Amino acid sequence: MKGLSKKEVQAVANLEFDGKYYFSREDIAHLFKDKRQMINTLYTLHKKGRVHRLNKNKYFLVPIKARTGKWVDNPLIIADEMLNGKEYYVGGWYAANYWHLTDQIPFQADIYTTKRQGRVTIMNTRFVFHRTTKKNLHKAVLQKIEEHPFRILDKEQTKKWLKSKR
């Protein structure tokens, strides 16, 4: 693990002091003299494994207490933060496991959204984005985990999905 520069330690310490593990560029902009310095610092923090980019403007800070730089957060919270809590729901095997319909531990989180598609791996968790329509978003319910809200396919719809897979 590589050491952190003075500016990187200042940014990480500031975020940890405020308890902001999910942050945007605006949250740390006041620490830098210009945008280029902020982008370079975020880039080097990403290379060193201290910051993970979730979307164009949002990042996840790996806490300093993770000495080796390895950290895992709940994939449901990561999914919510990636999509800013809008127009998505988590489905598939992850929803079946959440509702205790299966004991199988999911290898990936299937996210149904109107915005993206494809695959991305963040903090050793694979997220697979499936495109859906706004009409299908009503199938989701709002739940909370660790005082953080997220959207997941409701239990009845998950049962229907599970029957179609067997």
Domain boundaries, the chain: 6-61, 75-165
For the ranges 3-7, 38-42, 80-84, 97-101, the lowest mean pLDDT is seen at: 3-7
Q: Are strands 125-131 and 108-113 parallel, antiparallel or unpaired?
A: parallel
* Least confidently predicted of 1-5, 16-20, 111-115: 1-5
Distance CA 141, CA 79 (A): 15
Count the alpha carbons within 13 Å of 162 in the hemisphere toward its beta carbon.
19
CATH entry 2.60.120 includes domain 6-61:
no
Mean pLDDT score of the chain: 89
68: confidence class by pLDDT, cuts 50, 70, 90: low
pLDDT at site 96: 93
**Average pLDDT, integer, range 44-57:** 89
Tokens of 120: 């991305």
DSSP labels, 101-161: S--PPPSEEEEEESS--EEEEETTEEEEEEE--GGGGGGEEEEEETTEEEEEE-HHHHHHH
Judge whether residue 71 has pLDDT over 80. no
By CB atoms closer than 10 A (0-12, 13-18, 19+), residue 61 is: buried
User: Quick check: 113 and 91 in contact, CB under 8 A?
Assistant: no
pLDDT at 70: 65
The mean pLDDT of 47-57, rounded to a whole number, is 89
Q: What is the pTM of this model?
A: 0.80
Give, in degrees to the nearest 5, the angle at Cα 8 between 3 and 10: 120
Q: What percent of the chain has pLDDT over 90?
A: 57
Mean pLDDT for 88-114 is 92
- Check residue 2 and give its pLDDT: 67
Does position 39 have pLDDT exceeding 70, yes or no? yes
Quick check: 166 pLDDT over 80? no
Q: Which residues contact 32 (CB under 8 A, 6 or more apart)?
A: 7, 38, 41
Query: Cα–Cα distance between 52 and 123 in angstroms, integer?
Result: 8
Count of alpha carbons within 13 Å of 114, Cβ hemisphere only?
10
Tokens of 28: 């740390």
